[in-house]
A and B are shown apart, each in its own frame.
Chain A
Amino acid sequence: MRVSVLQFPGSNCDHDCTYAFGSVLGCDTSLVWHGDTQLPEDTSLIIVPGGFSYGDYLRCGAIAAHSPIMAATKRFAAQGGAIVGICNGFQILTESRLLPGALLRNKELSFVCKNVTLRVDSHKSPLTANLPLRSTYTMPVAHMEGNFTADVATLDQMERDGQLVLRYVDAHGEATHHANPNGAARNIAGVSNAGGNVIGLMPHPERAIEALLGGTDGRTMLTSLVEFVRG
């Protein structure tokens, strides 16, 4: 399988993702420039990596969402292709309307950079399809705009349909106020689209793939993702 990692001006987790999928997980991995209009033909997974695409000008992800490669990415999504957006990649996917909702400035107005614990609340995404429900994973967040929001009707619909895939939880696996690093509605850390093939999350699994980096929970998640996409 080929993993295509999109690369925008200002992406800064593109090489981390290439390392995680290529060197650690052994997938054929390509960097795909934002100005390209086509994905590599054998692409079976798209990663929209973190960073500060276009300097976060206007709104995070707003300009990247209109770049040429996103048209190809939307076609890939419409055909059921697996897409994972991480951090700024999540923001790009909401700005592209590939995912519902929006990511606002963190409630406390500060950049949050720390380890968080996530709970899998739904199988409805390629990242969580093979992970046990209510299992938890610890990995870093590093963002200023991770405060997920949508109107109440949309949140209720997403909850009913299993699109609230990952939540911030405490050491006991409970989605408490204290465990929420950014004020996200309902402690939401990751959501999927109606089709369950596109997911965005704020935390960085690619930064938790080796004990040397402080943990391997991200590797467990990404391994499960790759196995699911391989089928």
Chain B
Amino acid sequence: MRARVIVLPRPEILDPQGRAVAHALSSLHFGGVEDVRVGRIVDLTLQDGLERGAAELQVRKMAKDLLANPIVEDFQIEWLD
């Protein structure tokens, strides 16, 4: 079972990396980009035999305690299989 944790800066937080990428895109003449946010993806491969509900709780706690900093970041979890 694999889980993907997607971490992004919260909307109200200034994202200097996103701003720099937006600037670079515009200097490459890519038009139509209103905003860019840069985050990170953490893919977790979980041990076989974990019950799905328990795994979901576990991954949510991992994201809250370590993978994201809830003061400045939001996260979402996707299940890859």
Task: Enumerate chain A interface residues (CB-CB to B < 8 A).
Answer: 58-59, 62-63, 66, 94-95, 101-102, 104-109, 147, 149-151, 183
Determine how close the nearest CB of chain A comes to the CB of B59; give it in whole angstroms. 16
Q: B40-81 toward A: CB 8 Å interface, digit per residue (1/0)? A: 000000000000000000000000011101011000000000
Residues of B near A183 (CB, < 8 A) are 14, 16
Additional A-B contact list (19), CB under 8 Å, known A102-B69, A109-B17, A151-B12: A59-B69, A62-B66, A62-B69, A66-B65, A101-B71, A102-B71, A102-B72, A104-B13, A104-B72, A105-B16, A105-B17, A107-B16, A108-B16, A147-B16, A149-B13, A149-B14, A149-B72, A150-B71, A183-B16
What is the interface size of chain B, counting residues whose CB is below 8 A from a CB of the partner?
12
Alpha-carbon separation in the docked complex, A95 to B68 (Å):
10
Q: Please indicate the chain B residues that have their CB under 8 angstroms from the CB of A62 in the complex.
A: 66, 69
**B71 lies within 8 A of A107 (CB):** no
Q: A66 near B66 (CB under 8 angstroms)?
A: yes
* B69 and A95 form a contact (CB under 8 A): yes
Instruction: Give min CB distance, B31 to chain A, whole Å.
Output: 23
Residue in A closest to B65 when the chains form the complex, CB atoms: A66
A108 to B19: give the CA distance in the assembly, Å: 10
Q: Quick check: is B20 within 8 A (CB to CB) of the other chain?
A: yes
Pairs A–B under 8 Å by Cβ, sample size 5: A58-B66, A66-B66, A102-B72, A149-B72, A151-B12
How far, in angstroms, from A95 to B67 measured CA to CA in the complex? 11
Q: Closest Cβ of chain A: how far from B80's Cβ, in Å?
A: 20
Q: What's the least CB distance linking B14 to chain A, in Å?
A: 7
